[in-house]
Structure 1
């Protein structure tokens, strides 16, 4: 199987539908989702360790919610573009 992958990478004209730009966008979306999830999970611990007021915890939750919404919008746009390109 690794030989097949190596053959696909060696010939730039035969990519079997693989789009590196779309793949990078998908990885970026995944990393934003992971970071937002970690921020949501770790927000109470960060607040207690730093001694910040509780209102900053709410700010962290709002930032992670914005990141989730951004990831959803970009993922839908990516999906629509992939569907349109065929």
Structure 2
């Protein structure tokens, strides 16, 4: 039972690191696109495409973070 708890904690920690990397990477890519868009003369529709891609990445991170939070809360309360 303790091994399963340990494996679950490791899985949640791995997911947490992935979420952090996705958030940081999304924001860096989005800022880079905002900076390079006008320099390269990209049309506005590409700017909106980058905006929507960033929103999708952040929504995914929010969903996974909520799942992590719920899993830790369930583990703390005994799996209820």
5+ residue gaps, structure 1, are 1-12
Distance 1:48 1:62 in 2: 18
Structure with bigger gyration radius: 1
Aligned residue pair count: 73
The Cα shift of 1:50 comes to 4.0
Q: Distance in 2 between matches of 1:67 and 1:55?
A: 18
Aligned to 2:75: 85
Give the ranges of 4+ consecutive aligned residues of structure 1 lying more than 3 Å apart after TM superposition: 48-51
Q: CA RMSD in A?
A: 2.3
Q: Please list, as runs of the form range in 1=range in 2, the aligned pairs for 1:32-71 lying within 5 A after superposition.
A: 32-71=22-61
Q: What TM-score do the two structures reach when normalised by structure 1? A: 0.71
5+ unaligned residues in a row in structure 2: which ranges?
A: none
